[in-house]
């Protein structure tokens, strides 16, 4: 299996290369055997798509986010809202919905712009 390395305040952690989640969700999978995969309601994750999209629009309007980044983030958020990335959800209680949505947006937007995930 291919992995990429993600980092958080605890240091590096290996994440499966084909997944969009980040370090904290991976740590949840490894360390908190509570809940089942995808036990968080998908609607809650979809709602965060709206929140992240609105934040991108506001940050663009304030001049702190480029048009290009706003567009990529908005596209990914539309995918989250439509449920197109539901297979990327772990939904375990150790990682909240925002901790799942944020890395999804970043990883998917990077992929859309042609950036490759790091594979080890």
pLDDT number for residue 120: 38
Backbone φ, ψ for residue 64 (5° rounding): -105, 0
**Fold assignment, 3-112:** Fumarase C; Chain B, domain 1 (1.10.275)
Query: The tokens 């908005």 sit on which residue?
Result: 74
pLDDT number for residue 53: 95
The three-state secondary structure class of 57 is helix
Residue pair 20/11 in contact (Cβ under 8 Å)? The answer is no
List, in sequence order, every beta strand (DSSP E) within 9-119: 11-16
pLDDT number for residue 119: 42
pLDDT reading at 34 higher than 80: no
Q: Which helix (H) or strand (E) holds 8?
A: strand 3-8
The three-state secondary structure class of 82 is coil
């Amino acid at each position: 299996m291919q992995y990429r390395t993600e980092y958080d305040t605890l240091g590096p952690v290996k994440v499966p290369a084909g997944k969009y989640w980040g370090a904290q969700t991976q740590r949840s999978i490894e360390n908190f055997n509570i809940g089942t995969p995808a036990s968080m309601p998908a609607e809650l994750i979809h709602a965060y798509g709206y929140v992240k999209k609105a934040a991108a629009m506001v940050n663009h309007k304030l001049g702190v986010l480029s048009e290009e980044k706003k567009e990529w983030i908005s596209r990914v958020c539309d995918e989250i809202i439509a449920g197109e990335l539901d297979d990327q959800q772990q939904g375990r209680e150790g990682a909240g919905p925002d901790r799942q949505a944020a890395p999804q947006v970043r990883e998917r937007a990077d992929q859309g712009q042609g950036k490759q995930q790091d594979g080890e």
